[in-house]
Chains A and B, each alone.
Chain A
């Protein structure tokens, strides 16, 4: 079957046992298991859901890892996994789009969330009972006792069977009742909405009681529970505000593990900044699923690639299997006259007059470009290395008034090799698994041909770009669309790298100031989808704001805009997008 990115690895749709089979242990997981509130941030597909689901008992007990047993013992809580998804967002929009009274909408919105939480709690109870207790009559008695209490506390029908499965079923049935009520309300002006008493249940009040009863009846090994709210970008605002407020809670029975996109809505941001706001470091820990210097995300990618090779019974080392791309190797190049890099310098110097002038200005002989000392080696030679390679690859002639470019249909040497594969998906497991599996499906057990690697990198990049382009976006008035924004930024960076004048520090990142031009929605959507990567300083003082933050395009755009996998100098994005700057089309032919 063709590898597609839907079935490649989508943690949302996998049950915890399946997630455990493919799980790669990381430092982020270590942090997540701490007995404290945690916020985990990252784009779609970056692995947040995987981490959250791995905390659950079915995943932990199916984890084929030498340290799993100790990990299970050490983890100080039982995880209650609560998913959200895009339906949540649209349900709220849909409700607000009707003539239904706002009070009812709020009530129903809260009911919906509470019901899902209660259902997840029942699932977790069943998991604890299954995995940590022996199945005998006393267990049945205990479940019946607990169920009777739940029936009371959750105001369920008295005549349901006192079993956790029946409780779940009844909770589902309640949703149907409310759906019907809402339909009647929408289409009948005279209909009186039925205010069932269960609509007023609030998990904040009820859950501690429920957990205490469970503890009393079952005497489980652990005393704490972690509510793991996943994909909160889809949750209603009131819930987000509530959860971020609850990060100040000191009740050790209930911990909050929240996952979200890196940028929070303004309303939530205000909660954090308020007097009663939770503070990073004191009240909660943060896990950022992106990394500025790419080290840890590369380490994760390497482990993931190793595991994929192992699954295919490929015994060759990954680096040997895919081959190295010397453009990305540090420290191995030599600076003797016959070295590959210095040949590149010489070659470029003959066809790019702006580069030749640059070398001369730096007191480097274009025909014999040997570094004079270590300072020059670091500040010039190492720094301009990818620029040299790329300009030499793409530029045909830049000795006259007009620059001309080589007609290359494929850029195999630039976009293949181990180092490219590690970096190009920015550590996003879903895209990485899809890419590597596509290559492996077409390769044998010994080596992956660079042609094939390139083809799959191109295909995956196009698929990613299509994914971003398909993101719905309401273009307001004369503002640009997300596609146009990315194209302008990408073309600008391309021009900076491959333009007429050699630039030793081409732009490849941008900063944003909403006071100058408002692209908030574009950047938020782009961050969530993974089109943009947030570049912070690795500072623990993360403030969730967009303003004055630095971003780059995902490396998945590298192929489209002919950019190296490298983060460079920044520019204010309004300077790119403003109407005064026109970006030339550097390549005047159809490259596809």
Chain B
């Protein structure tokens, strides 16, 4: 098994002159889906580029291989096939998770951490293309409030501390609070963010829940993965001895990514999702800026202790 050794937030310029074994992104109707791919393919050597889709393929490109994913476990199978074919000491993989559903990129992270392989080191780059602001649509009813699949944690008798990363659709936050019934609740939302309208929408649409839990509401810098990490760690360290920590990221994906990574570093952290199944709101998601990416490099190394 491999362990996340460390990570850095990097810029697009750092993604150059690399030999990339696998590039994975998602295919849907969002405009930003290939922004990163189109940028990096020119000055990097990418051996395999895969575009994952759920029901429909929305485009047709020669430089991508399209693979359908109906269930998150199929992502494991794809990684199994691609990674086992790679006979190297060091693997480099880039994941553009901008358009991915949570279970897909969580599966990738968990897979890299838990699967046996012969690599001494895995360099995994996770990239997100922020989108322009679009008005929040009326929320769809909750059909599913449950842990993200892929990780099993045996329940124990301790009370729960819920950390909610707020999004800008109403009622999601309240839904999970009611369902989980935690002993402690922490709310985090992005401020500053790339467009202040996002923050305003979050504050308006979550006014009730922010008011109820004002004392344990914090903000984070949307563009700083380290800031997100520090905020989450602070809560974790304070409460993890007495509480089961659950993070439910229902807002921006960089927050979700950092939450997921921390749940791998601290195996007792659970990630929960709130979904409306296939009945989701379609947002156009134009890229905010063609050169603006939030990229995280994480390095996995073989775990010395078994």
Contacts and interface: CB of A to CB of B under 8 A. Distances in A.
Identify the 5 closest CB pairs spanning chains A and B, nearest first.
Answer: A13-B183, A470-B175, A4-B212, A187-B114, A87-B155
Give the interface size bracket for B toward A: 35 or more
Contacts of A190: 116
Interface of A is mostly: helix
Interface centre among B185, B212, B213 (most CB of A within 10 A): B212
Given A91-B154, A91-B155, A99 B73 contact: yes
B157 interface: yes
A85 B267 CA distance: 20
Nearest to B146: A90
Nearest to A462: B208
A108 B153 CA distance: 11
Contact of A94 (B144, B149, B157, B178): B149
B152 A91 contact: yes
A195 interface: no
Contacts of B270: 87
A87 B267 CA distance: 16
A93 B146 contact: yes
A88 interface: yes
Interface in A188-211: 188-191
Contact of B156 (A97, A175, A475, A483): A175
B147 A94 contact: yes
B147 A115 contact: no
A200 to B, nearest CB: 16
A6 B185 contact: yes
B183 to A, nearest CB: 3
Contact of B178 (A12, A84, A470): A470
16 contacts: A6-B182, A6-B185, A13-B183, A84-B155, A85-B155, A86-B180, A91-B153, A91-B155, A94-B146, A94-B149, A98-B73, A98-B149, A179-B153, A184-B114, A466-B171, A469-B141
A86 B181 contact: yes
Given A115-B154, A175-B156, A178-B154, A471 B178 contact: yes
A327 to B, nearest CB: 31
Given A112-B155, A471-B178, A90 B141 contact: no
B136 interface: no
Contact of A108 (B154, B159, B171): B154
A180 B145 CA distance: 24
Given A6-B185, A119-B157, A473 B143 contact: yes
B152 A472 contact: no
Interface in B206-232: 211-215
A111 B155 CA distance: 11
A188 B116 contact: yes
B142 interface: yes
A266 interface: no
Contacts of A187: 76, 110-111, 114-115
A186 interface: yes
A95 interface: yes
B114 A98 contact: no
Interface string A456-492: 0000000000110111111100000101000000000
A172 interface: yes
B277 interface: yes
Contacts of A428: none
Interface in B120-158: 141-147, 149-157
B179 interface: yes
A86 B116 contact: no
Contacts of A180: 267
A338 B215 CA distance: 55
A182 B152 CA distance: 7
A119 B267 CA distance: 21
B239 to A, nearest CB: 13
A405 B208 CA distance: 32
B1 interface: yes
Interface residues of A, number: 55
A88 B277 CA distance: 22
Interface string A93-136: 11101110000000010011001100110000000000000000
B154 A472 contact: no
A466 B156 contact: no
Nearest to A13: B183
B142 A470 contact: yes
Nearest to A168: B157
A178 B156 CA distance: 13
Interface string A263-303: 00000000000000000000000000000000000000000
B289 interface: no
A88 B146 CA distance: 11
Nearest to A481: B141
A186 B107 CA distance: 11
B143 A474 contact: yes
A10 interface: yes
**Which of A6, A189, A469, A483 has the most chain B CB within a 10 Å cutoff?**
A6
A183 B178 contact: no
B145 A472 contact: yes
Contacts of B149: 94, 97-98
B82 to A, nearest CB: 15
Contacts of B111: 187
A2 interface: yes
A279 B300 CA distance: 58
B155 A116 contact: yes
A179 B154 contact: yes
Nearest to B184: A13
A1 interface: yes
B152 A470 contact: no
A467 B156 CA distance: 26
A112 B153 CA distance: 10
Nearest to B306: A180
Nearest to A120: B157
Contacts of A13: 159, 181-183
B181 A12 contact: yes
A1 B215 contact: yes
B168 to A, nearest CB: 17
B177 interface: yes
A337 interface: no
Contacts of A94: 146-147, 149, 151-152
